[in-house]
Amino acid sequence: MRLINKELKSMKWTLIATWKMAAEGMRLAEANLRKSGSADQALETVITAVEKDPRFHSVGYSGLPNQVGVVQLDGGYMNGDTLSIGAVGCVEKVASAFKLARHCADQQFNNFLVGEGAAQFAVQSGMEMMELLTLEAQMIYEQRRAEPKPLSSYKGHDTVGVCCLDGQGTLAAGTSTSGLFMKKPGRVGDSPVCGSGFYADSEIGAAAATGVGEEIMKGCLSYEAVRRLQQGQDPQRAASSLVAEFTRKLIRKRGRAEAISLICVDKEGRWGVGTNIKFAFVVSDQDHPARVYVAEPDQDGCTIRAWNDTDQDVD
């Protein structure tokens, strides 16, 4: 949906996504954006490309399961024109948590569905259903369960998060994840929680988070990033200072801070990133094709550089 008071002329578009795994979908989405495609279409292209790719074990098909060997997905979506949101949590056997979340946003009520109710809605809505646990993911699960040390959550990256400003001035944000490996059944992280895992307002900006959801939810970081944009901070300062400040607060209050990374884009198409780990992300805009970058924390927030072959430890 477009706001009726938007200018008809084409505007600058920008697309940013978490992790190198989003690169292939980004290249498909940017081709559509160059033809006046919408932010919603771009999000779906990027996210579903990751969801259906069995190489990636933290999102969708071939996602790593919970403690009882079941893959449970979370996803979220927000349209910045209308502030419509959709979200699903702990949903099983749905091919795309993001598509289901986006469909939830079209409803007047029942925008956030979980568990069996979310799966039933997916079936009623004609969504693709499938077995998500692949042989490779099951083997990883069985190997981990056989280890003598106590079960613990996967410490690598998880969520694919995307923010887009399209050529019509619409901002949107979306997420999808299978969550932490070996999580307790029913566990939900930040990814489907509006204001924590994602947020978008076409008058200001959009943001999405990835990392340990229990940490990200403590600061409602996606909403806070957009709020800082509204106060006049540029996106890079808003994202990097927010993650650095919140990491210090967690350490001061709790003695430690888990992985947190954040992407954002403002209504002018400028983007920013914040992180407290080594973090890869992908950016594309009307003047530049999709390119992978790496951000690492430093005293001033974070340092950003192009990804290279020595960065195989972060993808």
Nearest Cα to Cα of residue 216 among 185, 188, 237, 238: 188
* AA identity, residue 244: A
Check residue 74 and give its pLDDT.
Answer: 98
| Residue % of the chain over a pLDDT of 70 | 95
Whether 113 maps to a domain, the answer reads yes
Is 58 within the bounds of a domain?
Answer: yes
Give catalytic status of residue 82 as yes or no. Answer: no
Q: In which domain, by residue range, is 154 found? A: 14-309
User: Is the predicted pLDDT of residue 297 greater than 90, yes or no?
Assistant: yes
| Overall domain count for the chain | 1
DSSP 3-state of 225: helix
Helix %, strand %, coil % of the chain (to 5): 30, 25, 45
Q: Which residue has the higher pLDDT, 153 or 194?
A: 194
Classify residue 277: in a domain, yes or no. Answer: yes
pLDDT at 46: 98
Helix (H) or strand (E) holding 23: helix 23-33
Q: Does residue 213 form part of some domain? A: yes
Q: What is the pLDDT of residues 242-274, one digit of tens each?
A: 999 999 999 999 999 999 999 999 999 999 999
Nearest-angstrom CA–CA distance, 279 and 298: 13
Residue 3 has pLDDT above 50, yes or no: no
**CA nearest to 199, candidates 218, 219, 179, 224:** 224
- Percent of residues, the chain, with pLDDT higher than 90: 89
pLDDT at 275: 97
Contact between 96 and 127 (Cβ < 8 Å): yes
Mean pLDDT of 217-240: 98
Q: Which residues belong to the annotated binding site?
A: 187-190, 210-213
Q: Does any domain span residue 278?
A: yes
The mean pLDDT value for 214-230 works out to 98
Quick one: pLDDT at residue 1? 39
Q: Which residues are annotated as a binding site for substrate?
A: 187-190, 210-213
pLDDT of residue 2: 44
Q: Give domain status of residue 315, yes or no.
A: no
Instruction: Categorize the per-residue pLDDT at 301 as very low, low, confident or very high, splitting at 50, 70 and 90.
Output: confident
What is the three-class DSSP state of 242?
helix
Q: Which of 14, 159, 170, 275 is catalytic?
A: 159
314 — pLDDT class (breaks 50, 70, 90): confident
CB atoms near residue 139 (< 10 Å):
10
CB of 88 closer than 8 Å to CB of 131: no
User: Considering the chain, what is the average pLDDT of its residues?
Assistant: 94
The answer on pLDDT for 28 being more than 70 is yes
Question: Is 8 part of a structural domain of the chain?
Answer: no
pLDDT digits (tens, 9 = 90+) for 59-105: 999 999 999 999 999 999 999 999 999 999 999 999 999 999 999 99
pLDDT tier at 10 (50, 70, 90 boundaries)? low
The pTM (predicted TM-score) of the whole model is: 0.95
The CATH number of the domain holding residue 277 is 3.60.20.30
Q: Which residue has the tokens 């920008």?
A: 14
Q: What is the pLDDT of residues 129-188, one digit of tens each?
A: 999 999 999 999 999 999 887 766 555 558 999 999 999 999 999 999 999 999 999 999
Q: Is residue 80 part of a domain?
A: yes
The reported pLDDT for the residue numbered 118 is 98
